[in-house]
């Protein structure tokens, strides 16, 4: 469950960044490896913020590590407060639109493959937990 407002007694264990990488009205989705939590689900480029990093620095690093694309000049979308049964965390969402299709090279330690799909079609896929709600939140008026 996530909220735009900080819940009572919210104690974040970590912070996560993610980015809707868009080209030609399609978003980039990465298929998680078998050994990763929530294996065989699709997610956007994302990861935890390392100590000493800003959210932007973490997202640039994660984009490069996972896909070899540069996520400079991203737009910050929102900060969400996520509460799972076992822990809380903060979730930062970014958006990056490319005018020219980026060359994507998947890190096989992180993901199996990638697809590009419309946000509406993405909602029909096996997505990482709560990504469907994030897609609806960001693309509701688009």
Taking the domains of the chain in order of start, what are their residue ranges? Answer: 2-139
- The answer to whether 54 and 130 are in contact (CB under 8 A) is no
pLDDT recorded at residue 142: 63
**What's the token pair of residue 82?**
């996520």
Please name which of 79, 77, 49 lies closest in space to residue 61, comparing C-alpha atoms: 49
Say which CATH superfamily domain 2-139 falls into.
Answer: Nucleoside Triphosphate Pyrophosphohydrolase (3.90.79.10)
pLDDT category of residue 20 using cuts at 50, 70 and 90:
very high
Residue 121 belongs to what H/E stretch?
A: helix 119-122
Cα angle 123, 124, 130 (rounded to 5 degrees) comes to: 45
Over residues 53-81, the pLDDT tens digits come to 999 999 999 999 999 999 999 999 999 99
């Amino acid at each position: 469950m996530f909220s735009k407002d900080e819940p009572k007694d919210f104690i974040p264990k970590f912070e996560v960044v993610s980015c809707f990488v868009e080209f030609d009205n399609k978003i980039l989705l990465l298929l998680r490896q078998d050994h990763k939590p929530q294996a065989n689900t699709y997610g956007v480029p994302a990861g935890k913020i390392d100590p000493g990093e800003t959210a932007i620095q973490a997202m640039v690093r994660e984009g490069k590590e996972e896909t070899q694309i540069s996520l400079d000049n991203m737009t910050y979308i929102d900060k969400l407060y996520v509460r799972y049964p076992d822990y809380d965390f903060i979730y930062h969402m970014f958006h990056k639109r490319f005018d020219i299709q980026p060359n994507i090279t998947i890190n096989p330690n992180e993901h199996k493959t990638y697809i590009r799909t419309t946000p509406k079609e993405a909602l029909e896929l096996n997505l990482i937990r709560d990504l469907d709600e994030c897609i609806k939140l960001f693309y509701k008026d688009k």
